[in-house]
Structure 1
Amino acid sequence: MVHKTAMAEVFLTDAHRRGEHRFTVAAQWPRAHVFYRPGADGKCDPVLWLETVRQAGVYVAHRFYGVPISHQFVLAGAEFTIEDPQAPQYGATPHTVSLDVTLQPPAQDRRHFVVELEAVVRIDGRRCGRVAMRGQAVDTRRYSVLRRRNAPSSDSLTPFDRPAQVPLPPAAVGRQHEWDVVLAAWPDRADSWQLSLDPQHSVFFDHATDHLPGMALVEAFRQAVSLTGGQRSAPDHAPRVWALTSGEVSFEAFGELDAPVTVESRPAAEHAVGGDHFSVRADAVQGDRRLASATLTGRPLLVAGSRLHGRAA
Structure 2
Amino acid sequence: MRQIAAPVQRLPQEYVHLHKQEAVLLTNWSILGSGRYAVSAHWPRGGLFGDSVQLLLAQTIRQSCLLIGHAELSVPLSHQTLMEWMDFSVSSDFYDPKNKPDNLFILLTFRPNNPRSLRVELSILSEGRLVAESLLDFSWIAPGAYRRLRGAHAEVPWGEAVVPPAVPAHTVGRADEHEVLLAPTAAPHRWELRTDVSNTALYDHRVDHVPGLVLIEAAYQAAHAVTGPGRGPVRVMSTFDSYVEFDAPCLIDAVVVPATDEDTARVEVTGVQNGERTFSVTMDCPQ
TM exceeding 0.5? yes
CA-to-aligned-CA distance 1:25-83 (integer Å, 9 cap, x gap): 11111111333424xxxxxx133212211111111011111222111111111111112
- Per the normalisation by structure 2, the TM-score is 0.86
Q: Contact 1:12–1:52 (CA<8 Å) still a contact in 2?
A: yes
- 1:12 maps to what in 2? 26
- Residue equivalent to 2:233: 244
Match of 2:257 in 1: 268
- 1:97 paired residue number: 104
User: Residue type matched to 1:278 in 2?
Assistant: A
- Which residue does 2:11 correspond to in 1? none
**1:198 counterpart (196, 199, 203):** 196
Q: C-alpha displacement at 1:143, in angstroms?
A: 1.5
Aligned residues of 2:86 and 2:134 also touching (Cα < 8 A): yes
Partner of 1:279: 266
Matched, 1:63 2:71: yes
The code of the aligned residue for 2:114 comes to A
**Distance verdict in 2 for CA 1:66–1:289, change over 3 Å:** same
Q: What's the CA shift for 1:84?
A: 5.3
CA–CA distance in structure 1, aligned partners of residues 93 and 19 of structure 2: 29
Is residue 92–residue 232 contact of structure 2 (8 Å, CA) maintained in 1?
Answer: no
Q: Is the 8 A contact 2:49 2:55 kept in 1?
A: no
Q: Distance in 1 between matches of 2:141 and 2:63?
A: 16
Within the candidate set 43, 53, 59, 1:29 is matched to 43
- Which one-letter code corresponds to 2:256 in the other structure? P
Pick one of 131, 135, 138 that aligns with 1:132: 135
Residue deviations 1:150-188, cap 9 Å, x none? x7xxxxxxxx886xx5531111111111111110111x2
- Which ranges of structure 1 fall in alignment gaps of 5 or more residues? 39-44, 152-159, 231-239, 301-313
Shift of 1:137: 1.5
2:170 is aligned to 171
Structure 1 residues 242, 260: closer, same or farther in 2, change over 3 A? farther
2: CA distance, partners of 1:36 / 1:74: 26
Distance 2:208 2:142 in 1: 15
Q: How far 1:227 moved relative to its partner?
A: 0.9
- Partners of 2:264 and 2:203 lie apart in 1 by 33
Matched, 1:146 2:149: yes
Aligned residues: 265
Amino acid at match of 2:248: A
Secondary structure, aligned partner of 1:171: helix
Alignment deviations for residues 278-311 of structure 1 (CA, whole Å, 9 cap, x no partner): 10101011112211001101124xxxxxxxxxxx
What is the aligned partner in structure 1 of residue 85 from structure 2? 77
TM-score w.r.t. the length of structure 1 is: 0.79
Partner amino acid for 1:107? N
- Offset of residue 141 of structure 1: 1.6
**Counterpart residue number, 1:221:** 219
8 A contact 2:184–2:192 mirrored in 1: yes
CA distances 1:242-287 after superposition (whole Å, capped 9, x unpaired) = 5211110000001111211100010122231xx3211010101111
Does residue 1:289 correspond to 2:287, yes or no? no
CA RMSD of aligned residues (A): 2.2
Structure 2 unmatched runs, 5+: 1-14, 154-160
Q: CA deviation at 1:115?
A: 2.2
Flag the 1:88–1:145 CA change in 2: closer, same or farther, 3 A: farther
Instruction: Report % sequence identity.
Output: 26
Partner of 1:119: 122
- Does the C-alpha gap of structure 1 residues 50 and 172 become closer, same or farther in structure 2, counting only changes over 3 Å? same
CA contact (8 A) 1:229 1:242 kept: no
Could you report, residue by residue, the CA deviation over 1:123-147 in whole angstroms, capped at 9, with x for unpaired residues?
Answer: 1221112012211121102222332
